[in-house]
Structure 1
Amino acid sequence: MIYENTLEPKISSNLDTNFLKIVAAITMLIDHIGYVFFPDMIVLRIIGRISFPLFAYCIVVGFLYTSNIIKYAIRLGIFSVLSQPFYVLAFDLSWYELNIFPTLLMGLLIIHFLKEKKWFIVTILLILVSLGDFSYGLQGILLMVLFYIFRNQRELSAIVTGIFLSIPLLSNHIQGFAVFSIPLIYGHTKLNIKMNKYVFYIFYPMHLLGIYFTKLILFK
């Protein structure tokens, strides 16, 4: 959705979150198709690096504008559980390797408790993330924290998060191409795309299920 600007916006970067989520979903799909079916086509994985920063940023915007943080967290928790079997099947993973929703949920909780200055709870959650097999791990959580901390300093936020995202390029790791998400996050698109918020939640497990069944057909 596009959040209405007020005299004191809660975040100074892009509020056109439906557009960002569509881009994130498409690039994620391209990434997963490349990972499963075209592992030698590295360009598909590079395109996919754009996805997570967009989802992470949308979590921070959602946190700032939600009317009920508990319902928001419960929704992420429900889809964390629902998506896990499909995630495991699609990528032939172990059950302890977690899909993206638990990472987004932990990020949401951590920035909430940072706002409330509940340092002990924040510490416990960070320990849990470091011990568990969360997608994008502590780096993913830190990215959400950076989006939150610098939410009203658009230029500084773009510089800080841009540097943070590009660090893996120093070791020739493709994750550094996530920096290409920066123009989308800090630009101001106004496409005003209207979509039910549950479309994005449902798309995640459904695209994983589609990948799994396609694998069964092609690789039987």
Structure 2
Amino acid sequence: MQNNTLSRPGFSLSGTALKRIACLSMLVDHLGASLLENGLFRCSAIDPRLVGLDQLLRLVGRLAFPIYCFLLVEGFLHTHDLKKYALRMLGFALISEWPFDWAFFSGVYWGHQNVYFTLLLGLLAMKALDTSQTPEGMPALKGILGAAACFLAAALLHCDYDVLGLALILALYMTRKDKRAQCIAGAVFSLFEPVAPLAFGLVWFYSGERGGSSKLEQWAFYWFYPAHIFVLGVLANLVLFR
């Protein structure tokens, strides 16, 4: 099923362009969360000027998750092999967990799991709703229960953004046939984070096209998350703030 992207002349963003923006936003966010909040603020007196810088970095970083949720829905709608897609998500969730703990909690921490787990559960919830439907095309009870199980898993695992993240993903999925409604729903369901609704100003210009990218860059988008938080973990725990 294709997203009903409104045709408009002029400026537009491909899926690849949105991924690049999301990666940059996420990096900015994690610079604050790791180097400042888990690094400098933990090891020394807090300078009010750095608090302001941290708040700015985190605000810029609020754009990343909504864009990734939108791209996840697009990936679900267009993938030729959902099982392979889900296993890839699971693999990177497992690969990312220790760097995530190290960068943001300075050691193994079971109270919070990385965002790949959230995206994986969102993928499974969409599959549950898509597989079990009524003749009118609405989610059947079996599908609703499957999605509810994903919400429960997100809450029990304490995934990044937990049930609010899954609610955003499903809101984008349920409004996928109408771009205007999808952007409005996305903005509303991302109100739990300041600035995050602005991400749908960028999504509005999505062209519906994947965009040019090499095989290397496609894999780099997956590896960027564990790689950059590993580097931030090194900086926060071994180099800058020992």
Q: TM-score scaled by structure 1?
A: 0.87
* Aligned pairs for 1:1-220 within 5 A: 10-13=2-5, 16-39=14-37, 40=51, 41=53, 42-92=55-105, 94-117=109-132, 118-166=143-191, 168=192, 175-189=193-207, 192-196=211-215, 197-215=218-236, 216-220=238-242
Runs of 4+ in 1 over 4 A off after TM superposition: none
Q: Kindly indicate whether the alpha-carbon contact (under 8 Å) linking 1:28 and 1:51 is maintained by their aligned counterparts in 2.
A: yes
| Structure 1, gaps ≥5 residues long | 1-8, 169-174
1:26 deviates by 0.5
Distance in structure 2 (CA, Å) of the matches to 1:76 and 1:207: 17
Aligned-partner SS, 2:4:
coil
Distance in structure 1 (CA, Å) of the matches to 2:149 and 2:33: 33
Q: Kindly indicate whether the alpha-carbon contact (under 8 Å) linking 1:18 and 1:195 is maintained by their aligned counterparts in 2.
A: no
1:193 deviates by 3.5
Distance in structure 2 (CA, Å) of the matches to 1:79 and 1:107: 15
1:21 deviates by 1.0
1:34 deviates by 1.3
Q: Kindly indicate whether the alpha-carbon contact (under 8 Å) linking 2:66 and 2:186 is maintained by their aligned counterparts in 1.
A: no
Q: List per-residue Cα deviations over 1:195-218 (Å, max 9, x = no partner).
A: 432111111110011101112111
| Structure 2, gaps ≥5 residues long | 6-11, 38-50, 133-142
Output the aligned Cα RMSD. 1.9
Larger Rg: 2
Change (3 A) 1:161 1:194: same
Change (3 A) 1:123 1:188: closer
Distance in structure 1 (CA, Å) of the matches to 2:57 and 2:13: 27
Distance in structure 2 (CA, Å) of the matches to 1:69 and 1:35: 32
In structure 1, the partner of 2:138 is: none
- The aligned amino acid for 1:194 is S
Aligned-partner SS, 2:212:
coil
* Worse-matched range after superposition: 10-19 or 35-44: 10-19
- The aligned amino acid for 2:196 is A
Q: Kindly indicate whether the alpha-carbon contact (under 8 Å) linking 1:25 and 1:51 is maintained by their aligned counterparts in 2.
A: yes
Q: Kindly indicate whether the alpha-carbon contact (under 8 Å) linking 2:151 and 2:163 is maintained by their aligned counterparts in 1.
A: yes
Percent identity of the aligned residues?
27
Distance in structure 2 (CA, Å) of the matches to 1:152 and 1:76: 25
Distance in structure 2 (CA, Å) of the matches to 1:90 and 1:204: 12
Q: Kindly indicate whether the alpha-carbon contact (under 8 Å) linking 1:76 and 1:104 is maintained by their aligned counterparts in 2.
A: yes
- The aligned amino acid for 1:12 is N
